[in-house]
Amino acid sequence: MSQNPAVPAPAGESDPGEAVAGIGRWLAVESPTDCASGVNRMMDLVAAEAGAVGIACERIPGRDGLGDHLRLRAGPRRDEPGILVLSHLDTVHPVGTLAADLPVRVEGDRLYGPGVYDMKGGAWLAFQGFLAAARGGAARRPLTFLFTSDEEIGSPTSRALIEAEGRRAGAVLVTEPARDGGRVVTGRKGVGRFDVHVEGRPAHSGSRHADGRNAIREAARLILAIEAMTDYERGITTTVGTIQGGTAQNVIPQHCRFSVDLRVVGAADGRACEATILGLTASPDFSLTITGGMNRPPYAKDEGGERLYAHARDLAAAELGQDLGEVPLTGGGSDGNFTAALGVPTLDGLGIDGDGAHTLHEYALISSIAPRRLLMRRLLETL
């Protein structure tokens, strides 16, 4: 990987007002994963801006009630591994958050709005860097930018597309938020998701108590066993995050359902924990159904990932005068897990700096936009 001499930012690239206005237009379109129309309006915005400057766009229709995906291609048209940029345009905040609890606003260096940190701010600045690299003609490899619609629920309809593009890539750049003051991410835990359904036997809780088989009690036994799998020293965590069951206060509950979140550092631990959870058995007179499995494989920095990070770190130092630190392991998963697991050098956390992902105080730091935008452009031009 080579590096060009410092290149000044194009006109407008360092204008914070232009950046806030641009990101603000994206924040004005609420796009939670389950609102396909909102996600597709986001795809419309990207496609219109890309098309206006002659970037080739391909729309991949959504399925299963989810939004579309969008693929952009630029750079030299050669049959060689290219550079893949990954962003998602779905968010977690429900429609109405913008008007009620988290209006778009600027307070000092902070830009607030639904999904501004995770990850519309990062997707916008990376997109601008992609357009600048495409217009400048300095890219050495084919460039692909993939915008997806379902990352926040585990990428069920985009995973195959991400992996297919990843296999064609020599490097993958992921625009998830920066961490801890601008650090990039070079490793993530693997993620497992499971749904558990316990069925017992209903009965009147007063007159026929002994005839009942309490599904909530049986679920509680299983939950304690699952939560006991947490092992902080090995980086394994299990969390039962949602539970529902029962029909009335005076009825022995027939059904109970709960969800399980699993996080692991190593692939072997992922397989072992998956087998343990799927192998749980019910007590007599109960039935048990468990679905799910490892959703995202662990993402560990290998030799290729180390070289990619070193290149980005050197660029940041030489051209931005910044120390680009790294977070070598974080518990959250991303689409970078998929490409890293394929052995493709992957660098994550290249998005905007800020805090409060998925909360009502989510914000991005305006001062981080220009340097991250320039870093993305220069990565696309120099890798």
Break the chain into its structural domains and give their ranges.
16-188+299-382, 190-296
Is the overall model pTM greater than 0.85, yes or no?
Answer: yes
Task: Write down the residue that tokens 């501004």 correspond to.
Answer: 116
Q: Which pLDDT score, from 0 to 100, does residue 180 have? A: 86
Q: Which pLDDT score, from 0 to 100, does residue 13 have? A: 67
pLDDT at 7 over 80: no
Tokens of 60: 């991949």
Mean pLDDT of the chain: 95
In the chain, pLDDT over 90 holds for what percent of residues?
Answer: 94
Reported confidence tier of residue 15, pLDDT bands at 50, 70, 90: confident
Q: Which pLDDT score, from 0 to 100, does residue 79 have? A: 85
Say how far apart CA 95 and CA 269 lie, in whole Å.
38
CATH code of the region 16-188+299-382: 3.40.630.10
| Own/partner pairs, 305-310, CB within 8 angstroms, 24+ separation | 305/186, 305/340, 305/345, 305/346, 305/347, 306/186, 307/1, 307/345, 308/1, 308/171, 308/345, 308/346, 308/347, 308/383, 309/184, 309/186, 309/347
pLDDT tens, position by position, 79-114: 899 999 999 999 999 999 999 999 999 999 999 999
**Max CA distance (Å), the chain:** 83
Same topology for domains 16-188+299-382 and 190-296, yes or no? no
pLDDT at 338 over 80: yes
Q: Which pLDDT score, from 0 to 100, does residue 308 have? A: 98
| CATH 3.30.70.360, applies to 190-296 | yes
CB 118 within 8 A of CB 357: yes
Say how far apart CA 381 and CA 301 lie, in whole Å.
23
Q: Which pLDDT score, from 0 to 100, does residue 12 have? A: 53
pLDDT tens, position by position, 225-274: 999 999 999 999 999 999 999 999 999 999 999 999 999 999 999 999 99
